[in-house]
Amino acid sequence: MTNNKNVLNWVDEMVALCKPDKVVWIDGSEEQLKALREEACSTGEMLKLNEEKLPGCLLHRTAVNDVARVEGRTYICTRNKEDAGPINNWEDPKVMYERLTKMYDGVMKGRTMYVIPYCMGPIGSKLSKVGVELTDSIYVVLNMDIMTRMGVDAFKQLGDTSNDFVRGLHSKADIDEEKRYIVHFPEDNTIWSINSGYGGNVLLGKKCFALRIASYQGKNEGWMAEHMLILGIENPQGEVKYIAAAFPSACGKTNLAMLIPPEVYKNKGYKVWTVGDDIAWMRIGDDGRLWAINPEAGFFGVAPGTNAHSNFNALESTKKNTIFTNVVHNLDDNTVWWEGLDKNPPKNALNWKGEKWDCTDGSKGAHPNSRFTAPAKNCPCVSPKFDDPTGVPISAIIFGGRRAKTAPLVYQSRSWQHGVFVGSIMASETTAAATGAVGVVRRDPMAMRPFCGYHMGDYFGHWLEMGKRLGDKAPKIFNVNWFRTDDEGHFIWPGFGDNMRVLMWILDRCEGKADAVETPIGFEPKAEDINIEGLGDISVETVKGLLDVDKNLWKEEADGIEEFYKTFGDRLPKELHDELDTLKANLK
């Protein structure tokens, strides 16, 4: 499949280490994939679902001890400890290689090693990159087929001489959580994962490559790998403007990426296009603007709560050729179900563990982190530019979190530097869904806290550097908060599709068509400039309340930011200290 000696030599080394009975090179052909699906169903690793209702769909269950990403077992191994930064787990690469090499020695005896070449981003794009993952899991092969451009074309993208590919080694081993490791060696372009079978730990193209390794590559090569959705808004004249947006989990990222315009815009002919729901790779184009691609080819979405109301387009994406993991199996019609899908839980069903499940006993049928892996091309609003090798030009960058009182509905940064400050202080308050106290502020800069592959102080510095290179062609930076609550704790803003009303003001600001009011934290809309037509219970007065900046709360916020900044020591750029000083002065 390839004559690339760098690939062939590395695969030979890993085969000698893992000692599989058989090595299968994945070419991406439907014939080969069909045989693998049949093999997985014959061993019980996968279950084939109702071919009429869910054509091409499969159900998979992970081990009970292996249901989510494990931050505590995820490492960034740089030669210099300081380069990994204070937020990442670090180990000396020599020590970690030695420890893991013993664990991989002979780990695939009696098993097949699959060699998966894959491309992150459209084939033929200068923005795309190649990886090769070696795995003993058919589940990984079938998911990587959905999530990446997998197969022989990836080797064509790499070429016969390049050494610029990410080396990924994965083995399920014994699914032993005490010996589970997801380890990144950024300086070696290498990822090793062992003792897990769960998607986020084993689909090495996803967070491991597309964010942790790629963020490090981006810093060194002058581009950006960000935990961001990309969406396009098309006006009635057919012009499309693109937005990239970062949100921590449970803040409506996928819903925004697949937004359905409210009637007031739909009736005028506005459309929304999804380029990506999770990750954006962005480079400065020949025209000096920032251009973005979605490196992925599918959606790895959380199932519970996804329904026709919350995210119609995501649900539609799952109707064919999708892999469902850890959801309820409805035995009556061989389909799937999860909490929040509808109000009709199946009577005759198995829960996510494969046990007989009674929907009336109060137990959850689907795991709270159960997933669907769905091809992006299934999405009704997938962008016509989805496979465009040049990507799309970004007009605005949005940061957001879940704040009950502090952050207003929307505000704009005064400059790129101030925008980096706004991204660096991103935070969400814990909800009842998380364990521990409710309302605790968790800082998650640019939503990259779990995914930055190097020191976050240097990461902020890289953002500042990109801004200098972009100059006056830099996207404008905004912050949004859909989660302001009243005194009873109810959300004030309707959210979902109505968030487009805020996006329209943002785009108007980018084009110099909307006014703004200066506040201590940045520029805000005039309340009457947010379109509330058709929102019966939201008045201009309500919007004024949503835009209110409480100076006392922001003084507390400034203290919290100062404490957080201490984490990064002298690697925090001086510019961010300056922005914090400006905020404090503005609040006096």
> What's the pLDDT tens digit per position in 340-374?
999 999 999 999 999 999 999 999 999 999 999 99
Give the per-residue pLDDT at 436: 57
Residues near 345 by Cβ (< 8 Å), separated by ≥ 6? 328, 337, 359, 365
What's the whole-number mean pLDDT along residues 140-159?
98
User: In which band, very low, low, confident or very high, does the pLDDT at 433 lie, cut at 50, 70 and 90?
Assistant: very low
Give the per-residue pLDDT at 439: 76
Pairwise CA distance, residues 399 & 401, whole Å: 7
Pairwise CA distance, residues 56 & 50, whole Å: 9
Phi/psi at 179 (5° precision)? -115, 25
Is residue 336 scored above 50 in pLDDT? yes
Q: Is 510 a catalytic residue?
A: no
Tell me the pTM. 0.97
Give the per-residue pLDDT at 432: 53
CATH number of the domain located at residue range(s) 299-371 in this protein: 2.170.8.10
What's the whole-number mean pLDDT along residues 1-15?
98
Give the per-residue pLDDT at 111: 98
What's the whole-number mean pLDDT along residues 128-145?
98
In CATH terms, the fold of domain 226-297+385-587 is: Phosphoenolpyruvate Carboxykinase; domain 3 (3.90.228)
Residue linked to tokens 């006014």: 515
> With contact defined as beta carbons under 8 Å apart, do 99 and 229 qualify?
no
**Would you list which residues are annotated within the binding site?**
69, 198-200, 207, 227, 249-255, 278, 369-371, 402, 496-499
Give the per-residue pLDDT at 431: 62
Residues near 344 by Cβ (< 8 Å), separated by ≥ 6? none
Share of the chain above pLDDT 70, in %: 99
Query: In 3D, which of 56, 30, 44 has the Cα closest to residue 318?
Result: 56
Q: CA dist 265 to 260, 312, 499, Å? A: 10, 18, 12
Residue linked to tokens 């995210």: 311
Sort strands 290-293 and 349-350 into parallel, antiparallel or unpaired. unpaired
Among 197-201, 242-246, 427-431, which stretch is predicted with the lowest mean pLDDT? 427-431
Here the tokens at position 442 are 């968790």
Give the per-residue pLDDT at 434: 46
Here the tokens at position 293 are 């691609």
**Would you list which residues are annotated within the binding site for Mn(2+)?**
207, 227, 278
pLDDT, tens digit, 9 for 90 and up, residues 269-288: 999 999 999 999 999 999 99
Among 23-32, 429-438, 444-453, which stretch is predicted with the lowest mean pLDDT? 429-438
Is residue 27 scored above 90 in pLDDT? yes
Is residue 481 scored above 80 in pLDDT? yes
Please give the angle made by the CA atoms of 246, 89 and 82, to the nearest 5 degrees.
Answer: 95
**Would you list which residues are annotated within the binding site for substrate?**
69, 198-200, 249, 369-371
> With contact defined as beta carbons under 8 Å apart, do 309 and 300 qualify?
no
* DSSP 3-state of 200: helix
Q: What is the dihedral of CA 486, 492, 496, 499, to 10 degrees?
A: -120
What's the whole-number mean pLDDT along residues 166-194?
98
> With contact defined as beta carbons under 8 Å apart, do 278 and 227 qualify?
yes
Q: Domains of the chain: which residue ranges?
A: 5-58+68-221, 226-297+385-587, 299-371
pLDDT, tens digit, 9 for 90 and up, residues 78-104: 999 999 999 999 999 999 999 999 999
Query: In 3D, which of 247, 264, 211, 43 has the Cα closest to residue 136?
Result: 43
Stated as kind and residue range, the H or E segment containing 184 is strand 181-185
Is residue 438 scored above 70 in pLDDT? no
Here the tokens at position 157 are 């993208």
User: In which band, very low, low, confident or very high, does the pLDDT at 249 lie, cut at 50, 70 and 90?
Assistant: confident
Give the per-residue pLDDT at 308: 95
Q: What is the residue-wise DSSP string for 394-423?
A: EEEEEEE---SSSS-SEEE-SSHHHHHHHH
Q: Over the chain, what is the mean pLDDT? A: 97
Domain 5-58+68-221 CATH superfamily: Phosphoenolpyruvate Carboxykinase, domain 1 (3.40.449.10)
User: How close are the terminal C-alpha atoms of the chain, in Å?
Assistant: 66
**Would you list which residues are annotated within the binding site for GTP?**
250-255, 371, 402, 496-499
* DSSP 3-state of 140: helix
Query: In 3D, which of 87, 89, 260, 109 has the Cα closest to residue 173?
Result: 109
Give the distance from CA 41 to its chain's centroid: 29
Is residue 243 scored above 90 in pLDDT? yes
Instruction: Select which of 57, 251, 452, 510 is catalytic.
Output: 251
